[in-house]
Structures are given as structure tokens and as C-alpha cells.
Amino acid sequence: MGNIAAEKNGVVASSASANKDLINGKILITKNGNLSSNGETNTDDQSTEDHHHDYAIAPSISAEIIDKKEHCNQLDHPEIEGWFAEHCSIWPGQAHFLKSSSYGKVFVLDGALQLTERDECAYQEIITHLPLCSISNPKKILLIGGGDGGILREISRHSSVEQIDICEIDTMLINVYKEFFPDIAVGYEDSRVTLHVRDGTAFLKSVESGTYDAIIVDAFDPIRPEHELFESSFFELVAKALRPGGVMCIQAESLWFQPFNIQNLVSKCHHIFKGSVNYAWTIVPSYPSGVIGFMLCTTEGSFVDFKHPVNPIDPNRISGVAKGPLKFYDSEVHSAAFCLPAFAKKAVDTKVVGQ
């Protein structure tokens, strides 16, 4: 069966894998987006860059509850037209609901909310400008994941940038964003962008040492100390691909999810990257807990004070391929991203290194 993306009530549902079945006019989505007509799932392995999880509830476009007892307890709740519901075992105790009409178009991939038109700016702008505004004159940037094009849009605002490489394995995902979210996917229109359709780890292995000034990773679940990436060579490859003093930014765990073991996470990152390391966060209402964190790490070189941007960007100026000015980020928000609640600050201050 061919690739399918559909829209209803502002919810765009798609699958990173090729198959979805229409049953009684409804799209049923489970792990990896594969569900046969008899309800048996296809559990073919997928790359970790596909953002795949096991979800108990399909999006409102399908109006179906999928019983995945082997992964999650069955949820019983009323099905309400126009609402999206998400539940995942990696966020214990959390069941997420939002009304799509309040968030504009909502993109759902295999049951997992990826972004909404209303608050995508909070994520895309922060994960991009925290690292790029923390170093002087960034020229060569690598994005791993980020197939929606929003981070590309934000990178394009930096006039010093000469080369933007994006490594994304799923061209169907890119095409869906271009069709339904053109103001986000506009990032692909920048002439400095080169798309590499391949696995991120394999791409990093082919890169010469010290190639990039910054690497932004938007391809995995929020990292934790026990994340599988720490058992692989991925971070070592990222560090090798960065120039001395180059910066990596990657999505990290929300400070509201316990255990919030940021001490261990910062220590592991510093052990690998050898430079400055810090934790930041931002508000994204449509994400579980409403906030998301970021780890920023530099390779060994000059100290980078992440809290005070040395390469500020004018929030009122329309630049690059973006169709409007910044909506969320400015230099004050940049510094505020490193201001943590008291319980988190105690944990981070003892382990923020490179200063």
C-alpha cells in the first residue's frame, strides 16, 4: 500500500514507514505505522531517527483506541471530536490531551505528536539559536533529523552561515511537511542547504574531523543518562566532527520527569566533549509536561558562556528564508533558558563544567 498522509480537524497524521490501512474509513496507527486488516502489527525495526514509540491511543483523526497491553495499560476515556490524545510508557504517569483547533495544524507521526503550528516556534527557535548565538561567526552547520524544515528555517536567519547539511532518512516525512506545513518546511528553500538521505551515524563516520562549527541533533527521544546513545559511538562521532570549541545542541529530558538525573547527564557529556556543558529548557505547551530540555556541549577549546549570547540575532528582522521575524527567541529569552527552578538549579550548579 502506498504512503498516506491525511488531514482532519487540523490534525495531519502520517507514518514514517510506508504502510497504513484504511479500515471502515478510519486510519489506524500503531508502532511504526503498520497495522494489518486483522489488527496484527508489523514490528519491523526502524531507525532511532524515526521518533517511534508505542502509543496506546491513536490521534483524533482515527478516533480509535488501540489496545497495546504489552506496552501500556489500556486507557479508558471518552473520545472527543477534535481532540488529540497521547500516552507513552517513556513518560510514566502522563497522558496528554489537546484540542487541535487551539493549536492550528497538528502533525502526528505514528501516534506521537511532533509539532503544532501554534507553538513550534518555541522549540525550533530555541534548539537553533541557543547554540548558534553562543559562538562567534558560525559557518558550517550540520542538522541530524529535523525533517520538518523548521530548524533549517531558523539556521537560515544567520548570515554568517555558508553551509547547512541536513541528514534525514525519511523523504516521505519531508514531503508531508512541505505539503501541509509550507511555512515550516520553507527551510529547504535556502540555497545553502544540502539534504543527505542517510543514517546520521553513517554520515558522521564519513565526515572529516573538525568540519562543523555546530551540530544540532533533532533525531532521538530526549536524552537521559541511560539513553542508548551513550552506549554507542554517536556522541564521539559528533565530537570528532566538530572543530575545537564547536557546539552541539540536543534535546534532553524535561526537568519535571523523575528521576531528574542531570548531574550524571552533564558528567557523561563533559567526559565525551571535554569542553563547556550546560542544560537549558523552554516552554512548549503541546509537549508532555509542557517543557523540554536541551544539552549544550562544546569540544575542548575556549570557554563558551552559554548563558550570554556573543552572536546575537535581531528578533524583529526578517532574514534568511523565514517569512516572518522571530516569534519566541531573543537574547533575554536565551539567558532565561538557563535559569532553572530551585530544585533543578541545585542539581545543575554542582555539575555545570568547563567554567
- Region at 138 (left for phi over 0; alpha for psi -120 to 50; beta for the rest): beta
Rounded percentage of the chain residues whose pLDDT exceeds 70: 66
Q: For residue 156, give the 3-state DSSP assignment.
A: coil
**Res. 34 pLDDT band, cuts 50 70 90:** very low
Give the tens place of pLDDT for each residue, 287-337: 878 899 999 999 998 899 999 999 999 999 999 999 999 999 999 999 999
Give the tens place of pLDDT for each residue, 153-208: 999 999 999 999 999 998 999 999 999 999 999 999 999 999 999 999 999 999 99
Tell me the catalytic residues.
218
Q: What's at 45, amino acid-wise? A: D
Grid coordinates given for 149: 524544515
How far is the C-alpha of 342 from the C-alpha of 334, rounded, in Å? 19
- Region at 296 (left for phi over 0; alpha for psi -120 to 50; beta for the rest): beta
* pTM, to two decimals: 0.77
Q: Is 41's pLDDT higher than 50?
A: no
Residue 179: alpha-carbon gap to chain centroid: 20
How far is the C-alpha of 297 from the C-alpha of 275, rounded, in Å? 7
Residue partners of 345: CB distance under 8 A and separation at least 6 = none
